[in-house]
């Protein structure tokens, strides 16, 4: 459900930046979303379609770029992409902890006119 407030902020930011650039319409927004952010693409799209009505972002295409979550092993220091199951290091089998990569959520670019 937090996608509602995130998407509302996304639209506000996109519209403000587009207007600063003198644009009258937003055609496309590329979003970078980390796998650890717990933000669901489908939910963002659904809220975007509803909340963007009446704005210059209405009917803009959303492009989602996912960033995999990175972990670092406590035992050997190896950095690795989190496996589908568990958190074990592929090098030594030790327990990994998140490095911070994979928590992203930001607008990478916009196509405007």
Closest by Cα among 36, 96, 41, 43 to 67: 36
Decide the pairing of beta strands 26-34 and 96-98. Answer: unpaired
* Residue 9 annotated as part of some ligand binding site: no
* Residue 81 annotated as part of some ligand binding site: no
Distance in angstroms (rounded) separating the CA atoms of residues 43 and 62: 12
Any alpha helices (H) in the chain, and if so which ranges?
Answer: 3-20, 41-51
* Residue 58 annotated as part of some ligand binding site: no
Strands (E), the chain: 26-34, 61-67, 70-73, 79-81, 96-98, 105-112
* Residue 92 annotated as part of some ligand binding site: yes
* Residue 2 annotated as part of some ligand binding site: yes
- Known binding-site residue numbers for Zn(2+): 73, 76, 89, 92
- Known binding-site residue numbers: 2, 73, 76, 89, 92
- Known binding-site residue numbers for Ni(2+): 2
């Amino acid at each position: 459900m937090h996608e509602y407030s995130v998407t509302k902020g996304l639209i506000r930011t996109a519209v403000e930046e587009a207007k600063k650039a003198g644009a009258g319409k937003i055609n496309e927004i590329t979003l970078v979303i980390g796998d650890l952010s717990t933000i669901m693409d489908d939910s963002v799209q659904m809220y975007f379609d509803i909340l963007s009505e009446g704005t210059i972002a209405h009917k803009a295409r959303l492009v989602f770029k996912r960033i995999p979550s990175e972990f670092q092993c406590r035992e050997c220091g190896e950095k690795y992409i989190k496996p589908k199951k568990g958190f074990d290091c592929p090098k030594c089998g030790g327990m990994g902890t998140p490095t911070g990569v994979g928590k992203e959520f930001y607008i990478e670019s916009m196509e405007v006119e």
